[in-house]
């Protein structure tokens, strides 16, 4: 079974790779995962791709069964997870189109099943480095090799959605130190940590956050920017898996 999984969000199903559904049950002890994992080859590495919003894209960020998705990947023996998320840009460096590799996260979401802790097991995991440093550095190196424009570090603020934020909420997040805003970064990262699966995140900035441009946030524009940005995510992944092959 492949050791790598890529969890993809909006727009990522347009990635230019040949993938086919894996014939496994989506049922886990935490309920149903979002979609059948897709399997395919990047270079000589076989990977799993999981669409967190389902196929077709229909599950809202707050309604995603993050625990089932992570439990399914664990059951498949996944050893490292690359998360791809689209986000809005708050900080000036988080310009539309860049690839942003956060190194910290603030969770503003609420009411989501955010832990595997139960009456038998209690996970008090260290989360001072929410993203796996080694995997993050390898992804950054791959992005540099592929000559992609990146921002290496900053705070991801995870909102509840599915509506976008008010400018006042964005100002508050800015004051808190958030550079980017998305709706799906948590509890995914925390759950991966509970399972001790190294996890790193690459974000594609697809719009200025609310109040950070003269225009309101328009879904059609977001879809176009996401689609063109996914080509860069594709180049990042190819570069990453090619570098892996060279190391082996």
β-pairing, 38-42 vs 45-51, is antiparallel
The residue whose Cβ lies closest to ligand HPA is 88
Closest separation in Å from C-beta 122 to ligand HPA: 31
Secondary structure (H, E, C), the chain: CCCEEEEECCCHHHCCCCEEECCCCCEECCEECCCCCEEEEECCEEEEEEECCCCCCCCCHHHCCHHHHHHHHHHCCCCEEEEEEEEEECCCCCCCCCEEECCEEEECCCCCCCCCCCCCCCCCCCCCCCCCHHHHHHHHHHHHHCCCCEEECCEEEECCCCCCCCHHHHHHHHHHCEEEEECCCCCHHHHHHHCCCCEEEEEEEEEECCCCCCCCCCHHHHHHHHHHHHHHHHHHHHHHHHHHHHHC
Q: Which residue's CB is nearer to ligand HPA, number 31 or number 162?
A: 162
Q: Which residue's CB is nearer to ligand HPA, number 28 or number 159?
A: 159
Summarize as ranges the residues that interact with ligand HPA (CB under 6 A).
86-88, 159, 164-165, 181-183, 206-207, 209, 217
Closest separation in Å from C-beta 164 to ligand HPA: 5
Q: Which residue's CB is nearer to ligand HPA, number 45 or number 171?
A: 171
Closest separation in Å from C-beta 212 to ligand HPA: 9
Closest separation in Å from C-beta 121 to ligand HPA: 32
Q: Which residue's CB is nearer to ligand HPA, number 143 or number 181?
A: 181
Q: Which residue's CB is nearer to ligand HPA, number 79 or number 169?
A: 169
Closest separation in Å from C-beta 67 to ligand HPA: 21
Closest separation in Å from C-beta 26 to ligand HPA: 25
Q: Which residue's CB is nearer to ligand HPA, number 78 or number 222?
A: 222
């Amino acid at each position: 079974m492949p050791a790598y999984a890529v969890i993809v969000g909006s727009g990522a199903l347009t990635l230019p790779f040949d993938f086919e559904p894996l014939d496994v049950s989506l049922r886990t002890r935490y309920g149903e995962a979002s979609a059948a994992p897709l399997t395919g080859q990047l270079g000589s590495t076989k990977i799993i791709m999981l669409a967190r919003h389902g196929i077709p894209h229909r599950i809202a960020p707050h309604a995603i069964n993050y625990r089932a998705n992570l439990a399914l990947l664990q059951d498949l023996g996944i050893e490292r997870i690359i998360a791809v998320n689209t986000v809005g840009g708050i900080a000036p460096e988080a310009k539309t189109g860049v690839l942003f590799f956060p190194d910290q996260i603030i969770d503003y979401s609420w009411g989501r099943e955010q832990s595997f802790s139960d009456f038998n097991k209690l996970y008090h995991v260290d989360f001072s480095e929410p993203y796996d440093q080694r995997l993050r550095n390898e992804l950054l190196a791959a992005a540099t090799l592929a000559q992609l424009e990146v921002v290496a570090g900053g705070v991801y603020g995870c909102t509840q959605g599915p509506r976008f934020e008010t400018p006042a909420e964005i100002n508050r997040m800015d004051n808190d130190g958030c550079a980017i805003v998305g709706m799906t970064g948590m509890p995914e990262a925390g759950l991966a940590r509970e399972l001790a699966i190294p996890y790193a995140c690459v974000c594609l900035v697809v719009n200025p956050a609310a109040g950070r441009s003269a225009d309101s946030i328009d879904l059609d524009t977001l879809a176009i920017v996401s689609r063109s940005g996914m080509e860069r995510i594709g180049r990042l992944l190819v570069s990453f898996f090619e570098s892996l092959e060279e190391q082996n």
